[in-house]
Structure 1
Amino acid sequence: MEHDRQPATREVLFPGAVNSKFTTSLRFSRASEDDAMPTYRILDQEGKIVDKDQSPPDISTELLLKMYKDMVTVSIMDIIMFDAQRQGKVSFYMVSAGEEGIAVGSASSLLPSDPMFAQYRETGIFQYRGFTPDDFMAQLFATKDDPIKGRSMPVHYGSRKHNIHAIGSTLATQIPHASGAAYAVKMQNMQNPTDDQRVVACYFGEGAASEGDFHAALNIAATRACPVLFICRNNGYAISTPTLEQYRGDGIASRGVGYGIDTIRVDGNDVLAVREVTRQARELALKDECRPILIEAMSYRVSHHSTSDDSFAYRAKVEVEDWKRRDNPITRLRKYMENNDLWDEGKEKELRSEARKSILKAYRKADKEKHPPIREMMMDVYQEVTEEQREQMERLRGLVERYPDEYDLSGFEGGIGGLKIP
């Protein structure tokens, strides 16, 4: 008796694409403008709710003001420290102008216990979690109060207290680290289901998404169902490469879909939209057996990539000035608060004045502080200091004592005595 095999041939049985159906139409799939993922927003550029039928954001006035003050504070510190680098006070600096809303908005929806892996434009997450002007300046000036002990470049913050891993210069290396940490967090969540469940947040720019680490990290997070939020700041440029020269696909969001990751694109200039997207993404990441989420936050990098960059070499100055006038997260939230009688010019002047004073006070203090003892460069490498390290420090001590004019240790805590390893 001949069996009817037709039903069994309607879908692919290959393990590599189990849900694909057979077809007799030979057609290559091609991305088009119609396929572009939409960008979620709550507020328009005038600070008004776009969807009139949508309920106002469920956020307290206190939190709304905190988010605004944090963004303003970061922007003021950026101006001060950018000028400080130009004056030779610090060796390097990077601002987050135009992208403050991504960091602050996302941080507001995460638990303080959620581990964070940042790149170098996430000053707002440190500010939101409680970093003080003194904390920022200690790292920027590499003072004895710097918890990283002066071992990193300026702007490469880190805080065990605030559950934010130290930033590294190497592009994209934090992304696979975040996937690994999320896998560990997943196992911890399973072992302690009654405790607050944690997720991992990982920040990077669209330029970092061109690195191999990005692809490896997304793939392992997807296949291992890791509760990690990949938050990509797409600001239009890497260091000197416009996105049109960097990729042909639909931004970074299309890559998340390709890896089987739930993905959303959000207006990074709308801090309320970023907050809401992150809030729901966090819930989704912990749903069922956990999963990774990719958030592509669209913005524009208003300033140069860093103090080592002249962006006008690869983009027109008029373009930057147009974006400054047109829209940014601080102005948009301010308009929203003014529209709802929560803010006025007097409060604005007071905030900016107080923020500037507190930052300058910390700046002047850090500028006079000593650096950590020289021996700190040998510490924390091994559990115990090795004989080779002791020998190296003794040789260095002898060199400094022999050529005191060449090696001035007066700016380091302990002076020459700071060379001795206990």
Structure 2
Amino acid sequence: MTQTLALTSPSLATLPILGPTATDTKTIILIIDDASESLTMLSALLRPHYRVLATTTGASGCRIAGRAPKPDLILLDVMMPDMTGYEVLKHLRDNPKTGDIPVIFLTALANTGDEELGLQLGAADYIIKPIIPAVVLARVHTQLEAKLARDWMKDQNATLEAEVARRMTENDFTQRVSIQALARLAEIRNEETGNHLLRTQGYIQRLATGLIRHPRFAATLTDHYINLLYRSAPLHDIGKVGIPDHILRKPGKLNAAEWAIMQTHAKLGSDAIEQAEQDINIHLAFLTLAKEIAHWHHEKWDGSGYPDGLAQEDIPVSARLMAIADVFDALISARTYKPAMPYAQARDIIAAGRGKHFDPDMTDAFLAGFDDFVAIAERYRNLDSKPKRHPVIPDPTIQTRT
């Protein structure tokens, strides 16, 4: 049963202007009440200050509330025949388009339990009938001011979130460019390596992805880990900046002393990353993988690698993955000391290193996805694949200066 509203003093002419929103005719108030007298009275009270929409049924009120421009505030009668005010409020709250519209209940019910129920359902306030015009205007104004503040905060939060996202994206690109620039600095001194960085990134990502369901690696090779792996991979040979040109660019095979110096690039690289990390006093997860890869990607499964002679599971997963990616690319690329090798021959050498140079399961994953590795190599192949000096064909054991 809907109660008829009775206007009491003071008159409309004596009502104060209640701040900026009270004269903002763009502010929309929707009144939902099944009694036409109530709609007329409330409309007369509010229309001098706001744009007023009115309807006599809860169903139509829900439809109106969902249209654009949507109301800034809803005055909702509790007792209506088609839908009670409680049912209307629940419907409004369940709809994403109307869920944030503040609602003031209009009711003649003085039961505190009814008021408590309405507030629990999400009502902003209660106005008890018969209404006092000044009270209605004051409470309407209060709720509109609160909504204005919430909207402002929401806009500020959205702006802040957008700015944070923009800066994170910018920092992400800065990080990636910095990594590439540092890695290129090392590769520039190996003029013939070209797109080695892009290829090894592609190889290591493909190899890791192919192992994500393998019981030995599933716990480690998460999407996050693979992303960090992809980012850090270009730094695997950063230590080459510390190798003299007469060794790094030597067209022939290195002698024992030169090879010993060449091998130091692994530790030089990890030490450089470690020192940079200490300088900025920040621990970054991708740098942990970068250090692992730089330091240990020349270790071998059988323990015969360098610089520390680690074997099997003692070699970090990241370094074992890079070992295959790096050697494969070294084999198929022309260098100052050797020509490029056919893909099939490189595949056979990797296969022959299973359980000796390379992790057996990783080797199997490489062989299973070999066509993908070839596709990556072709996608980022050097524009000039010819060595810049006459090559010296190396020993089949391959002294790759990767």
Taking structure 1 as the reference length, the TM-score comes to 0.24
Higher relative contact order (CA 8 A, sep 6+): 1
More helix by proportion, 1 or 2?
Answer: 2
